[in-house]
């Protein structure tokens, strides 16, 4: 395996399963020291053991909506390792409800995790990366940020805010040789998605059938795109929102 990330330090939020876990494994396998964060300690420890099979990993229980705790964690990682090279803001919150039934509590929770926490993590990472004149941040959005999805207003709006915030951060960080990009996933077969699909196979088949490639993505496929943007292979790419969605974002009409 290519060890091109040896000596690099990375933080991945939402790192205990799905896209985050797949990304942490790939980063570790390529030589990076990876710090994974998630809310549930037991699940996080299981993920740490999984990632440890591929390389160096640390685990921090963290609620990313806690600004002080998130900032302190980033500072601690940078201080202990003397650097921070890569940051993946992947933790997410989603509530499904019609606008007429969505509560303000649900709206604020989705924004707290999907937008405000990305601001916190990006801000803390930039404070380390810009003085060291190097670094790469990848924030995880969703195709629902660019294509309307009924019953997902708070999730969609917060993920759209993430895209525009990341573009502004990219412009501010570019003179310091720090890059900020966004991955825009479509349907991804994470454990939660797979569980839902198993319970409601007919309902689950509909979104997959509307994707030009006729299937949902796998976490490993998203991880490959994320690590590409983090790596020096993408050294002249910043401020982009890259769909990794089987063609969904490019699709003009839904299949009949």
Catalytic residue numbers? Answer: 155
Please tell me the distance from the alpha carbon of residue 18 to that of residue 20, in angstroms, as a whole number.
6
Contacts for 155-158 with beta carbons within 8 Å, 24 or more apart?
155/92, 155/93, 155/94, 155/95, 155/110, 155/114, 157/110, 157/111, 158/110, 158/111, 158/113, 158/114, 158/115
φ and ψ of 207, to 5 deg: -60, -40
123, HSE (Cβ side, Cα atoms, 13 Å): 14
Token representation of residue 174: 């570019």
Contact (Cβ atoms closer than 8 angstroms) between residue 239 and residue 180 = yes
Please tell me the distance from the alpha carbon of residue 211 to that of residue 113, in angstroms, as a whole number.
27
């Amino acid at each position: 395996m290519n060890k091109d990330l040896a000596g690099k330090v990375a933080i991945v939020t939402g790192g205990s399963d799905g896209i985050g876990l797949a990304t942490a494994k790939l980063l570790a396998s390529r030589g990076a020291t990876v710090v994974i964060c998630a809310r549930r300690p037991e699940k996080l420890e299981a993920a740490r053991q999984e990632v440890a099979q591929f390389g160096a990993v640390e685990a921090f229980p963290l609620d990313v909506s806690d600004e002080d705790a998130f900032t302190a964690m980033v500072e601690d990682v940078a201080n202990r390792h003397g650097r921070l090279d890569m940051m993946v803001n992947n933790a997410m919150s989603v509530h499904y409800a019609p606008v007429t039934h969505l509560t303000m509590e649900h709206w604020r929770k989705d924004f707290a995790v999907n937008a405000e926490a990305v601001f916190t993590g990006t801000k803390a990472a930039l404070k380390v990366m810009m003085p060291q004149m190097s670094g790469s941040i990848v924030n995880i959005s969703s195709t629902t940020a660019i294509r309307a999805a009924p019953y997902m207003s708070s999730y969609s709006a917060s993920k759209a805010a993430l895209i525009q915030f990341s573009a502004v951060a990219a412009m501010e960080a570019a003179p310091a040789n720090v890059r900020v990009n966004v991955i825009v996933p479509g349907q991804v077969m994470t454990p939660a998605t797979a569980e839902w699909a198993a319970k409601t196979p007919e309902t689950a088949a509909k979104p997959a059938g509307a994707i030009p490639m006729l299937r949902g993505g796998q976490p490993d496929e998203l991880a490959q795109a994320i690590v590409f943007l983090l790596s020096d292979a993408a050294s002249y790419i910043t401020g982009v929102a890259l769909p990794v969605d089987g063609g969904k974002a490019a699709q003009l009409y839904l299949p009949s």
